[in-house]
Structure 1
Amino acid sequence: MKRRNFMQKTALGTSALTIMSPLAFANSNKETMPRYNFNLKYAPHLGMFNNHAGDDPIDQIQFMSDQGFTAFEDNNMMKRDVAMQEKIGAALAKRGMTMGVFVIDKGGNMANSLAAGKEDFINIFLDGCRKAVETAKRVNAKWMTVVPGGYERSLPIGVQNANVIEALRRGAEILEPHGLTMVLEPLSDSPDLYLQTSEQTYLICKGVNSPSCKILYDIYHMQKNEGNLIHNMDLTWEEIAYIQIGDNPGRKEPTTGEINYKNVFKWIHQKGFKGVLGMEHGNSISGKEGETALINAYKEVDNFI
């Protein structure tokens, strides 16, 4: 080969390598984790994987889907603008993901207690139900969280129960024609909260007697308030429509606390549960390392078959 032709070909080859090298570098450094086929519909929330996916909600949903998560939940959905709600709804539909709960906006967990039986409190709740119907349409949601509020200490517990049942019946009348379900969540955050245990929530749901009023069984809260998780879930199972997750102590991902989540998930799967299990907890480790550890923790506890 003549020296001139050799030099031209060498220059062209070097140029091509120079042009291609940034792309090759990017591909070689792109983090890839194979999609995992989970046995249950675990639902992450926004912010759980932002170190991997960035701050854009749609990119985060894409990342969740790429890891194998088939559901998503967002407590703050009603607070997001309509355009973002519609974008999230489209993103979930594109990826075949199930929308989990969002919270019906009634002013906060302790506010506007339905146990008090006050019409102005009930009207705030009912207005939240009406607005929730429109939000649910945009994101194709079926379930929405309701916390009835605090105790009304001046009233006997039976009267408080009746007040809550009556208010929830009126809420169910709004949701039922649309095939929507409010899920009542007993919490451990404060001794002043009216709803504390699964048996109490079961009683309320039986009193409301509507397919639009069921139990949200948050495993973290119920481990703190009553323990004996599988037994109590079994007692109230026919009213449980939604489940949330968090290990105790710490309210982080499974495997970080005392709850035997592999055994609990195995039992839930054997019950034939097809609904969503919301990942309502923090990450025990910060950064990308913590996000990867969280994904691996779910793979570990989902390996029960």
Structure 2
Amino acid sequence: MTQRRDFLKLALGATGAVLAGRTYPATAGPVSQAASAAKNKFKLDYAPHFGMFENSAGKDPIDQLKFMADQGFTALEDNGMMGREPAMQEKIGKELDRLGMKMGVFVVDKGGNGQNSLAAGKKEYIDIFLNGCRRAVDTAKRCNAKFMTVVPGDFERNLPIGIQTGHVIDALRRGADILAPAGLTMVLEPLSDTPNLFLRTSDQTYEICRAVNSPACKVLFDIYHMQKNEGHIIPHIDWAWDEIGYFQMGDNPGRKEPTTGEINYKNIFKHIYDKAKVTNRTFIFGMEHGNSRPGKEGEEALIRAYVESDNFQI
């Protein structure tokens, strides 16, 4: 598996919202009424990651969380959470709770990659995965997480595809048995990074989740990756809907913020919003992409892109 990718003045003419100026780092304490009044009122739970607003908020993760909250973002995702010290995991969890933000995904450490693919069916690989699941339970408790990303790894090309699929299902069932009692859900992410990856499409992932048959195993629908691998995004979301647990995004080409590429995120966000309302579901939308422009200006442009894409009729 490829390595996972580890804004203070902003005029928002399109919406008439004006961001109140603020200096970071911010002092601890309750979120101020002024800051709350200055938020963008996003319809969906968009989740930035650490480093995305570093030029505006500084390098401290807690100050970055405060900045995200002030801009109206209501969730965070941190792929590398399991690599942080337990004390920092707890500190992040407490600040998320204070700010009223949700914790999105983190990646299960060594949960499956090119070196220990679950498709191979080897005991030593499965043991690494299951140990990662057990440690993920402890991490999730500290940072108030409910979701963690799992990628089964590469193809085992000396085995028939059906046998590989069976191996993946067996391993995921055992992982689900660890996560389900804690109320946690691993979300399986089909990727476009390399043709060697076993998990590539949303329908394949849907099929595997059906076979695992556990609330602890669902689809992570990354719109960027699925645009590259299968296109036809809205129909694929509808087909896999019952097994989707989480969304991520980035525009294509380039894997930057919405409005920088070919994907019509405003239409996609509206479709998901409407469908979720009818089916009484909620999702976190992980902003797993880079910034198209550097510095504070790039961070301000990113916020404007989300304001624009979230400005759909309900």
For normalisation by structure 1, the TM-score amounts to 0.89
> What amino acid does structure 1 have at the position aligned with 2:213?
N
Separation (CA, whole Å) in 1 of partners of 2:295 and 2:89:
27
Of 84, 89, 102, 1:85 maps to 89
Tell me which of 273, 276, 282 is aligned to 1:274. Answer: 282
- Correspondence for 1:202 among 175, 200, 206: 206
Partner Cα distance (1:173, 1:29) in 2: 46
Structure with greater helix percent: 1
SS in 1 for 2:129: helix
Please state whether the residue corresponding to 1:242 is helix, strand or coil.
strand
Tell me if 1:289 matches 2:289: no
Given that residues 111 and 132 in structure 2 are in contact (C-alpha distance below 8 angstroms), is that contact kept between their aligned partners in structure 1?
Answer: no
Residue of structure 2 in register with 1:237 after alignment:
241
Residue type of the partner of 1:177?
Answer: P
Which residue identity does 1:68 align to in structure 2? G
Q: Distance in 2 between matches of 1:83 and 1:199?
A: 39
SS across alignment from 1:182: strand
Q: Tell me, which stretches of 5 or more residues in structure 1 are unaligned?
A: 1-26
Write out per-residue CA displacement over residues 80-119 of structure 1, whole angstroms, 9 at most, x where no aligned residue: 0011101100110000100000000116632210000000
What is the deviation of 1:192? 0.3
Please say if 1:184 is aligned against 2:192.
no
Q: Does 1:133 align with 2:137?
A: yes
Q: Which moved more, 1:96-105 or 1:109-118?
A: 109-118
* Structure 1 residue 300 corresponds to structure 2 residue 308: yes
> Aligned AA for 1:302?
D
Give the direction of change, closer, same or farther, for the CA distance of 1:28–1:172 in structure 2 (3 Å limit): closer
Alpha-carbon distance between aligned partners in 2 of 1:144 and 1:133, rounded to the nearest angstrom: 10
Matches of 2:106 and 2:285, distance apart in 1 = 13
Change (3 A) 1:137 1:293: same
Q: 1:28 to 1:164 in 2, by over 3 A?
A: closer
Q: C-alpha separation between the residues in 2 aligned to 1:50 and 1:151?
A: 37
Shift, 1:271, TM fit: 1.1
Q: How much has 1:131 moved relative to structure 2?
A: 0.1
Structure 2 gaps of 5+ residues are: 1-19, 25-34
SS in 1 for 2:196: coil
1:30 CA displacement: 5.0
CA RMSD of aligned residues (A): 1.5
Match of 1:24 in 2: none
Distance between the aligned counterparts of 2:294 and 2:75, measured in 1? 23
Q: What secondary structure is seen at the aligned counterpart in 1 of 2:285?
A: strand
Match of 1:171 in 2: 175
Q: Distance between the aligned counterparts of 2:153 and 2:293, measured in 1?
A: 32
CA 29–226 in structure 1, closer or farther in 2 if over 3 Å, else same: closer
Q: CA deviation at 1:28?
A: 7.9
Mark the CA change 1:167 to 1:46 in structure 2 (over 3 Å): closer, same or farther: same
Relative to the length of structure 2, the TM-score reads 0.87
Residues 108 and 50 of structure 1: is their aligned pair in 2 closer, same or farther, counting only changes over 3 Å? farther
Cα distance between partner residues in 2 of 1:131 and 1:60: 26
**Alpha-carbon displacement from aligned partner over 1:151-190 (angstroms, at most 9, x marks no partner):** 0000000000100000000000000000000000000000
Contact 2:47 2:73 in 1 (8 A): yes
The partner residue of 2:49 within 42, 45, 49 is 45
Between the aligned partners of 2:115 and 2:106, the Cα distance in structure 1 is: 17
Which residue in 2 is equivalent to 1:150? Answer: 154
Q: Work out whether 1:226 is the aligned partner of 2:230.
A: yes
Q: Distance in 1 between matches of 2:216 and 2:112?
A: 21
Is the CA contact (8 Å cut-off) linking 2:220 and 2:247 kept in structure 1?
A: yes
TM-superposed deviation, 1:29 = 8.1
Higher Cα Rg: structure 1 or 2?
A: 1
Quote the Cα distance in structure 1 between the aligned partners of 2:66 and 2:92.
11
